[in-house]
């Protein structure tokens, strides 16, 4: 039985981690960490856990936690884990970090985009970027996994095979992305209030969103050269979901069959990636509350561009589900254990 601890258990991603891990046959949650709710019953914060969880919330003492569990999930703001992580902790436990602290290999890029100083850059090199479909073998051997974000997971998985195989001009890629409001977290912020979000759609972080360098770095590895993209996120009035639409110049002679063959070669055996039938576009409602990513594409011969589309649930495959998928790899579990639930509709 894997003993797990969660720091940030009362945020949206942390709450989703709890929900998923409760259904994992080989995991016991030993620590519900939440600085804001220490001493309060977890089920009093999330009433869906009534009579399912009797424990109270504990603090965020990561040193004590490392003595009691096998794996620590940190569903915390940027900078938290970097300020506390040390060799002693990593010697005792595996760590899956849902923040961006160890996702970007160049510390100067991280500090520029996140506007904070990195407190433990010595661990950046060894951290494995936790995109299971791409880095599966490296994850299995890791002590520290940098769990990718929601926009990045959807954007990278949608574009990666085409960039890797040189079927598109990667530097022409424009990504237009939409997210439900849970992606902004559970904190009270005026821009996320009901009256601000309802009946509205808006772009934000234009030419400055912090997921941009993460997407660029991973696609650069695929391309074998530096890649620069345009990425614009939008907030839409729904609880969950990410929809990515990418536009790129197609290499000469690109056909539907060639694109499909490449996607099938990369993802045909992947449990959680579903390549849709020709002419079918991904929709967030068909992946809600699941660990699936739906991918579709359309070649526009008139403009010599390919339109690539992806959809996922930002709290599951975009956060907690992916973290559990990474944990399964770390501990030799079946990769899909605890994650084989059907998308919810309606």
Of 191, 236, 186, 183, nearest in space to 211 by CA: 183
Measured on CA atoms in the order 236, 274, 103, 207, is the torsion positive or negative?
A: negative
Q: How far apart are CA 93 and CA 97, in angstroms?
A: 12
Q: How far apart are CA 148 and CA 145, in angstroms?
A: 9
Do residues 65 and 9 touch, judged by C-beta distance below 8 A? Answer: no
Of the listed 150, 154, 195, 281, which one is catalytic? 150
Q: How far apart are CA 10 and CA 188, in angstroms?
A: 14
Do residues 314 and 11 touch, judged by C-beta distance below 8 A? Answer: no
Do residues 227 and 220 touch, judged by C-beta distance below 8 A? Answer: yes
Do residues 89 and 66 touch, judged by C-beta distance below 8 A? Answer: yes
Q: How far apart are CA 86 and CA 122, in angstroms?
A: 9
Instruction: Name every residue whose Cβ is closer than 8 Å to that of residue 300 and which is 6 or more positions away in sequence.
Output: 306, 307
Do residues 293 and 272 touch, judged by C-beta distance below 8 A? Answer: yes
The pairing of strands 128-129 and 144-146 is parallel
How many C-beta atoms lie closer than 10 Å to residue 140's C-beta?
16
What is residue 134's three-state secondary structure? helix
Assess whether 150 carries a catalytic annotation.
yes
Residue 95 tokens, joined: 């760590």
Q: Is 179 exposed, middle or buried (0-12, 13-18, 19+ CB in 10 A)?
A: buried
Q: How far apart are CA 196 and CA 198, in angstroms?
A: 6
The residues that are catalytic are: 150
């Amino acid at each position: 039985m894997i003993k797990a601890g969660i720091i940030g258990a009362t945020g949206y991603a942390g709450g989703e981690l709890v929900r998923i891990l409760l259904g994992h046959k080989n995991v016991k949650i030993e620590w519900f960490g939440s600085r804001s709710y220490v001493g309060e019953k977890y089920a009093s914060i999330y009433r869906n856990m009534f009579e399912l969880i009797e424990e109270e919330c504990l603090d965020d003492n990561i040193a004590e936690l490392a003595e009691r569990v096998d794996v620590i999930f940190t569903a915390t703001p940027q900078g938290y884990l970097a300020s506390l992580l040390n060799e002693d902790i990593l010697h005792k436990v595996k760590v899956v970090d849902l923040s961006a602290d160890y996702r970007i290999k160049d510390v100067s890029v991280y500090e520029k985009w996140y506007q904070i100083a990195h407190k433990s850059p010595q661990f950046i090199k060894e951290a494995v970027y936790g995109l299971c479909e791409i880095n599966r073998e490296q994850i299995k051997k890791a002590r520290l996994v940098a769990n990718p974000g929601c926009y990045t997971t959807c954007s990278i998985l949608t574009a990666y095979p085409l960039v890797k195989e040189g079927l598109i001009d990667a530097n022409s890629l424009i990504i237009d992305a939409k997210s439900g409001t849970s992606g902004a977290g559970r904190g009270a912020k005026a821009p996320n209030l009901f009256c601000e979000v309802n009946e509205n759609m808006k772009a934000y972080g234009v030419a400055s969103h912090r997921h941009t360098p993460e997407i660029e770095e991973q696609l650069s590895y695929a391309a074998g050269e530096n890649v620069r993209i345009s990425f614009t996120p939008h907030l839409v009035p729904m609880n969950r979901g990410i929809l990515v639409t990418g536009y790129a110049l197609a290499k000469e002679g690109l056909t539907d069959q060639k694109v499909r063959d490449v996607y099938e070669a990369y993802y045909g055996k992947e449990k959680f990636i579903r390549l849709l039938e020709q002419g079918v576009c991904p929709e967030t409602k068909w992946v809600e509350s699941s660990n699936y990513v739906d991918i579709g594409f359309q070649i526009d011969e008139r403009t010599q561009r390919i339109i690539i589309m992806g959809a996922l649930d930002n709290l599951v495959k975009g956060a907690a589900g992916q973290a559990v998928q990474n944990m399964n790899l770390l501990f030799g579990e079946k990769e899909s254990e605890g994650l084989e639930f059907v998308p919810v509709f309606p």
